[in-house]
Amino acid sequence: MDAEIKYLLSLQAVRERAHRVLQLAEADKLTHFDYHKDRFDSAVKYVTNIIKRDFGPDRYHQIPPHGRWQHFEVGGTARIQDLRARWEAMGYDKVEQARSLVDLFFVSVLLDAGAGDKWRFTEPGGNLSIGRSEGIAVATLHMFNQGEFSIPSDRNDVVLGAALKDFSEATLSRGFQITENNPFVGVPARVELIRSLGRSLLNLPDIFGDTGRPGNLVDYLIARADDSNRLDFKVLWETLQSVLLPIWPSSRTRIDGHPIGDAWPLKVLADEAKHAGHESKCAHIQPFHKLTQWLAYSLTVPFERLLGVTWKNAEIATGLPEYRNGGLFVDLGVLTLKNESRQRGLASSGGALPAFEATSDEIVEWRALTVALLDQLHAALQGTELGPEKLSLAQVLESGSWKAGRELAAENRPETKSSPILILGDGTLF
């Protein structure tokens, strides 16, 4: 793998290229969006007020990092705590519990791309009906407990590559309660993603063992801790890239035959490279690696809470370029679609909101701006009354930007609670 391709797989490239797109926005050189810098402060204030409302005046230290764990607690039920209590009763130590949570989080996160505006999961044994990310979390937890990701053995609640490689649409439909009246976006693509994950886990026995168990990542990373018992986020990132790059759909971008994951051509970068005479095979690509980053954020938490370890180099992770974080900046007018792009999107949707394919130039430009603006938001919060709290980017994502995007969607579009720009995808990106 040459240096240019390796760079595109890095989090450094995600951040650097996204900030270059924001610089072009400030110079009014974008293809699809106008950037209204004068409205950015109002977005900072909006997010600040949400964080203060939910964690002020003295609970900022309780803000968890952005991750999957919280989604399992929807409805005020401590499902992970209940799960751990069961494991403790069975004699599982904290290392085995951490392995098991890594198992669960792996499949739950990789199935967690936008479910659509209509799907709901009704939890067995109660009347709680849950949609979106939380619904997917709870649905996968029940499937996990029922052994849907394992092979027949003495233990059901484990994930094994040998089981994932034969995962079926019928299994997902049953577990997610998918029907004609309860539709779920991108079933075939998600099923193939899980099958491919199973094959990839089995192809890396040095990390995941002969059974391809995701939880064996715990042992792999602990063996590489430094003298201060710190784990390296860079090692986690490189490991996740090694297992996940082969599983993404074949429609994803490739350079010289190498898959580069969630990374896409962007016209404004191509135009700039051509103008500067710096054209290369990679100069026009904007990487994101969103789902891999969402998994990385999520996996750090069991290590911290169960094993008491800390992470170095965690600051290399970026904000997540998905529709809630991005919707925040559109709903508050920081970003607006240029008229030609908006009209094209409206023609595509046939409705009141513009719609674009997930890999379109419009969405790639929007996602790049989102990554950079989340960094700007994080920095700007240091200049508010939240400054002394020294919130990490992961905490800002959890308590501020993602929540703000969701609340604005519910306020502005109460019937669907959808993004202000609709994304047409296969369920493996968002």
Identity of residue 243: V
Residue 426 pLDDT greater than 90, yes or no: no
Residue 279 pLDDT greater than 90, yes or no: no
Average confidence (pLDDT) over 102-117: 89
Question: What percent of the chain has pLDDT above 90?
Answer: 90
d(CA 247, CA 155): 27
Q: CB within 8 A of 133, min separation 6: which ones?
A: 71, 112, 115
Q: How confident is the model at residue 144 (pLDDT cuts 50, 70, 90)?
A: very high
- Mean pLDDT computed over every residue of the chain: 95
Residue 115 pLDDT greater than 90, yes or no: no
Query: Which pLDDT score is estimated for 329?
Result: 98
Average confidence (pLDDT) over 198-227: 96
Q: What's the pTM?
A: 0.95
Query: Which pLDDT score is estimated for 7?
Result: 96
Query: Which pLDDT score is estimated for 301?
Result: 96
Residue 385 pLDDT greater than 70, yes or no: yes
CB atoms within 10 A of CB 181: 6
Q: How confident is the model at residue 290 (pLDDT cuts 50, 70, 90)?
A: very high
Query: Which pLDDT score is estimated for 4?
Result: 93
**Token pair for 267:** 């016209």
Query: Which pLDDT score is estimated for 428?
Result: 76
Residue 208 pLDDT greater than 90, yes or no: yes
The 10s digit of each residue's pLDDT in 225-238 is 998 889 999 999 99
The 10s digit of each residue's pLDDT in 321-341 is 999 999 999 999 999 999 999
> Phi, psi (5° rounding) for residue 19?
-70, -30
Dihedral in degrees, nearest 10, Cα atoms 184, 295, 141, 64: -110
The 10s digit of each residue's pLDDT in 163-189 is 999 999 999 999 999 999 999 988 999
Query: Which pLDDT score is estimated for 43?
Result: 98
Dihedral in degrees, nearest 10, Cα atoms 263, 267, 273, 275: 180
Q: Which residue has the higher pLDDT, 265 or 429?
A: 265
| Residue 208 near residue 217, CB atoms below 8 Å | yes
Nearest to 83 by CA among 19, 9, 17, 144: 144
The 10s digit of each residue's pLDDT in 216-265 is 999 999 999 998 889 999 999 999 999 999 999 888 999 999 999 999 99
Burial of 328 (0-12, 13-18, 19+ CB in 10 A): buried
Average confidence (pLDDT) over 32-44: 98
Identity of residue 69: W
Residue 280 pLDDT greater than 80, yes or no: yes
Q: How confident is the model at residue 125 (pLDDT cuts 50, 70, 90)?
A: confident
Q: How confident is the model at residue 127 (pLDDT cuts 50, 70, 90)?
A: confident
d(CA 191, CA 25): 38
Strand runs labelled E in 20-114? 33-35
Query: Which pLDDT score is estimated for 153?
Result: 78
Query: Which pLDDT score is estimated for 430?
Result: 66
**Residue the block writes with tokens 């929007």:** 366
Domain extent listing, the chain: 3-424
Residue 201 pLDDT greater than 80, yes or no: yes
Query: Which pLDDT score is estimated for 70?
Result: 95
d(CA 388, CA 406): 26
CB atoms within 10 A of CB 334: 24
**Token pair for 322:** 């998905």
Residue 145 pLDDT greater than 80, yes or no: yes
Least confident of 22-36, 192-206, 271-285: 271-285
Query: Which pLDDT score is estimated for 168?
Result: 97
First-to-last C-alpha distance (Å) of the chain:
27
User: Measured between alpha carbons, how far is residue 417 from residues 139, 290, 327 in Å?
Assistant: 21, 22, 11
Strand runs labelled E in 175-270? 230-232, 254-255, 258-259, 263-265
Query: Which pLDDT score is estimated for 227?
Result: 85
